[in-house]
Amino acid sequence: MNRRILTFALVLLLVGAGTVSAFTISGSVTGGQAGLTLKWVVGIPTTLDTVYFTPVVPVFNTYALTGVQEGGYLLFAFQDLNLNIVPDLDEPRGFYGGTPPQVLMVSSDTTGINIALLPPENGGFTGVVSYSGDQRGATVISAFDNPSFTGTPRGAGAVLDTSGVGNYVAMVDTFGVYYAYAFMDLNLNFTHDADEPFGIYGGETPLPINVQPLNFPDNVDITLTDPSATPPLPHALPQNLSLISVYPNPFNSAATITFTLGTASPVELIAYDLLGREARRIKAGVLSAGEHRATLNGDALPSGVYLVRLRAGTETAVTKALLLR
């Protein structure tokens, strides 16, 4: 089966001697298929400005990711069954922290960061993102189970090249039919904002992507265009409400959520983890028309991405908040 595969940039961040501290992340990788097939660990900083890549030592199943700079990281491991040094959708894989993954904060050498590989029981799709504008930033691909792009995203991928051009792999949480759009995350808040380039697979009429055990679509190509040249996304917020901002984002203790209601409405504001579990009920009740603020308290919540859903009457808006400790 032919399919485009994300080509990871096997480039270590160059460090000026004596100017920037570099650290090591180490641990073990367990699970996967029996045998001596090589495993790899990938470290992706939350800034999405580079990629760290290292093999796992066979038999001992240990790794050491060196030259890492201070900051937050997502750690991903996979077993390279076909020896092409990139993660394929039918290969065992896993994130540090499990599902959803955790963000690892690094400010010194960090040990005991273990990752368990899981069977690839969900799959995904691949494609190419194109862009010819002047903006620069990491591109995020979001997968939904409906063409209106409402509710919680069911999968995601990314293009790490800041030009907005490149291959990507998007992983989804179950087999089924999906719809995808991509946006250039200029302010690194993991949320599409009105001034950011975006594109939809299929254009104005989103096309379905059928992900099944023996079918990982490989031609889900998306072209980004600047918002000045295109109509709003189909998931643009309803006229009665708008989820304006989560600030600060990322946050480490509490964030302020600002939203506006066009008319007085019963409101429910809830933060969910990436598995769809309720993490924090923020606000509920009938609110007047106008601007409102609420506080998302991160106490006792693990680091990671949370989906903040605002429901006002029959209308819903969703945004993301990144908690870093």
Buried/exposed code over 252-289 (b: 16+ C-beta within 10 A; e: otherwise): eeebebebebeeebebbbbbbbbeeeebbebbeeebee
Peptide bond into 100 cis (omega under 30): yes
> What pLDDT score does 190 carry?
67
Asked if 4 and 129 touch (Cβ cutoff 8 Å), the reply is no
Give me the tens of pLDDT residue by residue for the chain, a chain 325 residues long.
333 333 333 222 323 333 356 999 999 999 998 877 899 999 988 776 778 999 999 999 999 999 999 988 889 899 999 888 877 777 888 888 875 567 889 999 999 999 999 877 677 899 999 999 999 888 889 888 888 777 777 888 888 777 889 888 888 878 889 999 999 888 766 677 777 888 999 887 789 999 988 788 989 999 998 877 655 444 444 455 665 678 888 888 899 998 888 777 788 888 888 777 888 999 888 777 788 889 999 888 888 888 888 888 777 788 888 888 7
Q: How far apart are CA 308 and CA 257, in angstroms?
A: 9
Alpha-carbon 103 to chain mean position: 11
> What pLDDT score does 177 carry?
92
Q: How far apart are CA 89 and CA 93, in angstroms?
A: 9
Q: Which residues lie closer than 8 Å to 242 by C-beta, 6 or more apart?
A: 259, 260, 317
For the four alpha carbons of 271, 277, 281 and 285, in that order, the dihedral sign comes to: positive
DSSP per residue, 220-251: --EEEB-GGGSPPPTTPPPTTEEEEEEESSSB
Q: Which residues lie closer than 8 Å to 285 by C-beta, 6 or more apart?
A: 266, 267
Q: Say which amino acid occupies 47.
A: T
Q: Which residues lie closer than 8 Å to 16 by C-beta, 6 or more apart?
A: none
Asked if 126 and 107 touch (Cβ cutoff 8 Å), the reply is no
> What pLDDT score does 15 carry?
30
> What pLDDT score does 5 carry?
33
Looking only at the bridges linking them, the beta strands covering 39-45 and 278-287 are unpaired
Asked if 272 and 288 touch (Cβ cutoff 8 Å), the reply is no
Domains and CATH numbers, the chain: 23-117 (2.60.40.1120), 124-229 (2.60.40), 241-323 (2.60.40.3080)
Q: Is 51 helix (H, G, I), strand (E, B) or coil?
A: coil
The token pair at 120 is 């690839």
Residue among 106, 101, 266, 276 at smallest CA distance from 174: 276
Maximum distance among all Cα pairs of the chain, rounded to whole angstroms: 63
**Whole-structure pTM value:** 0.52
Q: Which residues lie closer than 8 Å to 208 by C-beta, 6 or more apart?
A: 147, 177, 178, 179
**Cα distances (Å, whole numbers) of residue 5 to 128, 282, 307, 319:** 9, 40, 28, 28
